[in-house]
Each structure stands twice: as structure tokens, then as C-alpha cells.
Homo-oligomer: A and B are copies of this chain.
């Protein structure tokens, strides 16, 4: 048996044990000796779990056992996950993880350590749950210049926006429904303020460029300021509001534009039909064109399945590094303030005479605005320009980007 260890026996970690046990027969096709969970590291004991006899509280028991050659880190958070992962990699033990916080902040460092020690650091499960995205980017698109990645990367916020749209709910009502249905946490900040999808687009941007993009560098806006009137406006424009992570990679300069923000997406666009808790990730390669990967972006077993797929790849490549193309250098980020997009803008009627003067003749007015409002769509303008112009409106309410 090929012996592995799980660090952190929470939702994903216990899912990993379950996938390995339930699908041992499938694993045997790939790894004829079979895969066995020898240790589970956790602060707690699990007296009711069939795995309790494998629980240890000391990482050194795992790191000092020469039988262990792959570790699954599903602890979450930066520490001690980073220290444990680093120690394992320095011993030539491959590490697979779903820990997007650690991957985003120190993934490049750990990838380089793995390379130096002929083992691997893989993190498919950190983006899109069970949806295969990082491996296809690295293998199926090895020959591509990826010019853009655009994703609905958070199921909770997509569920809320879908509810607001289909049932005419306001944000707070839809959030409450999501909480009641177990799709949103009691403290939903990481989702609704966009921090979670922001980390994911930062990881995707890092892999696309080969340099580190940290989520602190990515302008991040969630959906808490979206109201049902915005959804009604979107509908009248033949669009829906989606919280997107966007990454645009310039083929000539190699610069990358990264942002997380709500966007109005046109009907007919592949991401328009991605509803409820589903995720969709649209990739554009310079040869292959547009491709979308769609599925449930979270959940215990789907996420665990992605972790196990990384484990299989590590086992099949024992003694050699799987190069994920991530270096310990920083990506060259384009100034997000200078990037040009189209905006949907809401302001008060009193600004009627200033709009054409500020935004030019190319704007399109929304024909049935809410009472007392004017709403319109701008031409392509930079974020900086949008901010300067809307600052001159006396009753400016909101700007939402168009995809």
C-alpha cells in the first residue's frame, strides 16, 4: 500500500479519507499497490470515527515515518500549515492541498521548495472545488497563451444573486435564505465581500502568468451593495449581475489585469447561465479560443475528489517534480485604475444636463429608469476616468461594470 497522511480532519480532510476508501477500486487502476491513509493529524480526537486509531497530534510522527511520501494538507489558514508543508517538502514528501489562503500567500515559495527537493506541491482543490481547472491550464493548455480567465468562483454569492434575480428579493433577504439553506455562513463576509473569489482569481492569475499575484494586490468588491433595482436594470439590458474574478493577460507586454467585482453579463454569454451555487470558469487561449468549465464549486466530496486527484498525480510521479510553472517572483500587474471597461451608471435626475457633457455622445440611456433616477451605459473608459467623472455628478449612486 502507498501510505499517505491527512493534516486536518475537518470537512475536506474527512472527505479525502472517504473518497480514498469508497473509490479504492478506481484508485487501484492508477496505483496498483493501492492507497492507504496511515495518519490523520488533528488537535482533536474522533472517538466515534472509524479513523480514530490513525489520529496523531504530533506532526513529527508523520514527517519521520519513511513510508509517508504524500501528505494532504486540509488544515486551512497560514500557520501551522505553511511550516508543516515546508518541512514535508524539504524531506521530499509531496504535499497536496485545498488551502487557498496558503496557496495565494506562499504558493510560489512552496512550489520552489518542492522543485528543489524533487517532489510536488499541487492545489487543484483551492479553486473551483471539484472542477478541474488548474490541471487543464497546466496540461491541456500547455501550448496556449492564456489571454483571459473570467470566473464565477463563489457559489454562495452566485446563489444570492440568482435568488435576487429570480424571486425579486433584496440582498439581505436573499442572504438570509442562503444562510437558512446552509449555503452561506453566519459570518458571510469572506463570501459577500468577495475575499474568497478574490483569492481564487489571484491563484489563477499566478498560474497564468507564472509570477505571484497576491490577493492584496487585487481590487476586490463584493455584492453587499447590489440591490434589487440593479438586477431590474440588468434585466432591462438583457443582462444578469454576476460576481466575477477577471484576469486579462496581455500577450505583448505580459502584464496582467486582475479584479474581483460584480459585472453585468450579457444573455447568451456562457457565464450568464451559470446560476445558483454553481461555478463557471471561462478560459480564453490564443489558439483554442473560449472554453468553459462548469460545476459545483464547493462541497465536501467534490473538493476532496480534487485533492485526491492531485495525490494520484504525485504518486504517479514519485521522485520527480511536477512543474506547475509557478516561480517565486512577482507578476507584472497592470494598473487596474487605467484598465478600460464599459460601466452601467445610476444617478439622480438632477444630473440630467451634465451626463452627455461628462461621458460624451456614445452613452446609451436605460429607457425605463427607476423613479427620480437616470441610468445609462458608458463607452469604454478607464476606472480612473469613471471615478473622476462620477465625482462630478451631484447625485451619483452606483457604477457596475459590463462584461
A residues at B contact (CB < 8 Å): 19-20, 22-23, 25-27, 29-30, 124, 130-132, 135-136, 139-145, 210, 268, 270, 272-273, 275, 285-296, 299, 301-302, 304-306, 308-309, 311-313, 325
By a CB distance below 8 angstroms, the chain B residues around A132 are: 136, 139-141, 291
Q: Are B304 and A287 in contact (CB under 8 A)?
A: yes
Copies in the complex: 2
Q: Are A291 and B301 in contact (CB under 8 A)?
A: no
Q: Which of B131, B291, B305 contacts A144 (CB 8 A)?
A: B305
Beta-carbon nearest neighbor of A304 in chain B: B287
10 A-B pairs (CB sep. < 8 Å): A26-B142, A135-B140, A142-B312, A142-B313, A144-B305, A285-B305, A288-B295, A288-B301, A288-B302, A294-B294
Q: Are A288 and B130 in contact (CB under 8 A)?
A: yes
Beta-carbon nearest neighbor of A273 in chain B: B273
Which of A135, A210, A287, A306 neighbours the largest number of chain B CB atoms within 10 Å of its CB? A287
Given contact pairs A136-B136, A294-B291, A301-B288, A308 touches B26 in the complex (Cβ within 8 A): no
Given contact pairs A132-B136, A132-B140, A143-B309, A290 touches B296 in the complex (Cβ within 8 A): yes
Instruction: Give min CB distance, A149 to chain B, whole Å.
Output: 14
Instruction: Give min CB distance, A188 to chain B, whole Å.
Output: 23
Q: Are A29 and B325 in contact (CB under 8 A)?
A: yes
By a CB distance below 8 angstroms, the chain B residues around A312 are: 139, 142-143
In the assembly, what is the distance between CA of A243 and CA of B76, in Å?
44
